[in-house]
Amino acid sequence: MERYKKILEETETVELEGYGKGLPIWRPYGMQIMKNIVNRFIDHLYDKIKFEFVEHPMLIPKEEYLDLFENIEFENLYTLDFNGRKYILKPDSLQFNFDYIFKHGIDAVLSIGTGYRYETGITPPLFRDRHIWPFVQFNHVIEAEEVEQTLLTHTNILSSLFEDLCLPHFFVDSGKKRNYGLHQINGMSFLDTDELTIISMSYVLSESFSHHFNTRKKLIDTGFTEKLLAMCALLNIDEKGLILPSLIAPYNVVCFDRNERPVSKDIIESTSQDNLRVYSDNSSRNIKRKFDIWEKKGVNILILTDGNSIEKVVRRYDKKAEPFTSVRRLSEILKENDEFLRTRNRRFMEKLNSENQEYYLQAFCKDCSLETTVFGEIFPHKTAICECGKIGLEYLVTYDKKIY
């Protein structure tokens, strides 16, 4: 778990201790990766659901916040007096998002904002921070009969995103979440220690929320955070540093000249096709240092030039060199890069079906599931035969219910 912190700081991605515990400061490289992650989500969302973007203030009048969450006790809020009025620092955008939806008669909104949550104890940076950025929250209002299909759509969108990030993943329906959600669908992945972790959440909110907004419709809350980048830094690495999935890398290709001359414009132009993000490093650092820096930062392809010719193309994922043949070949290398990561991370998914001490998949009928510590049903729900012979569903069984 410790290595991701070192890598993220050394690659100038984020200063994890930032402005204090749980207040990381993102540097330009990290901000760009996170923006690329969010943009992938938006692209997948556009394909499936019509929505509007919304922005909200950081300061929420306290009485209006408590009006919505009257039945729920939150212990992780920051409150302050400002200009003679009591405010809460926005912990998330749920309240604003749904209020906007009902006020404007639309079905769905997306907010890409910030949240503040009071946290104590040992909280791994980017896994549980006090300042959460980005806090991507998608809220959707649907008819009751559309719940199953909508949750499926949301999880498909998230699954496409996790595929882009080359993260191993599956979804679990953990059922009712106290008085907050009627259903909670968790996107699950794995830490480098093989432990399970939650990387996204989708809720069907409880009746108290529908009642507050005076509707019989169902309210869906889906979101993810900065944790996705921490997961990439945990799983998509090798001894040299990051291996970024090509769709989120700020640069797919970095070029530099053998004799420390500026990289030829013709080379930049010829490689900047096919949507490749290309950067030329014309700094005065020596070649070895440039290789080390950009390899550590996880750039997919390094190109060494010699004046107007390309001397070699180095693939980040297997560190092997090849002669330059075409731009199309560079695009192929990006696909190989991502397939390499996905194949390597597939081993985590295989653990689910093996004799693992901590967690595994097993079929239970409804009665037998009550006698076992199950984390939830695999989603989409899968019919399977229980050991007792009855028809049941596939469940994730864990010995530790506390997965974060």
Partner 1 sequence: MKLNYQNQASLIRTREQQIADFIGYHGFTRISDIFIIPKNVHNTRSYIKKHIVRTDHLRYPINVKIEERDYGLQDYYIRSFGEDFNLILFRWYEAWEKPIKIYSLGPGIYKNKEVSNLMLAQVFDAPNQLSDLQVKLLNCPSPFEELKSSLSKEFEVDCLRVWGV
Residues that bind partner 1 (CB under 8 A): 15, 18-21, 23-28, 31, 52-61, 64, 67-68, 75-76, 78-83, 89, 95-96, 99-100, 114, 116, 118, 120, 131, 133
CB of 11 to partner 1, least distance (A): 13
CB of 61 to partner 1, least distance (A): 7
Tokens of 193: 């220690």
CB of 84 to partner 1, least distance (A): 10
Of 32 and 156, nearer to partner 1 (C-beta) is 32
What is the helix, strand, coil percentage profile of the chain, to 5? Answer: 30, 30, 35
CB of 259 to partner 1, least distance (A): 22
Of 31 and 268, nearer to partner 1 (C-beta) is 31
For 143, other C-beta atoms within 10 Å of its C-beta total: 10
Of 111 and 300, nearer to partner 1 (C-beta) is 111
- Distance of alpha carbon 304 from alpha carbon 261, whole angstroms: 11
CB of 28 to partner 1, least distance (A): 5
Of 55 and 145, nearer to partner 1 (C-beta) is 55
| β-bridge mates for residue 221, sequence order | 139, 203
Of 2 and 75, nearer to partner 1 (C-beta) is 75
Q: Residue 351: name the closest of 184, 155, 189, 171 by CA.
A: 189
CB of 45 to partner 1, least distance (A): 15
β-pairing, 253-257 vs 237-238, is unpaired
DSSP letters of 179-190? TTEEEEEEEEEE
Instruction: Characterize 270-299 residue by residue with b for buried, 16 or more Cβ atoms within 10 angstroms of its Cβ, and e for exposed.
Output: ebbeeebbbbbbeeeeeeeebbebbbbbbb
Of 76 and 179, nearer to partner 1 (C-beta) is 76
CB of 77 to partner 1, least distance (A): 8
- Give residue for tokens 């556009």: 46
Of 64 and 350, nearer to partner 1 (C-beta) is 64
Q: How far is CA 286 from the centre of its chain?
A: 35
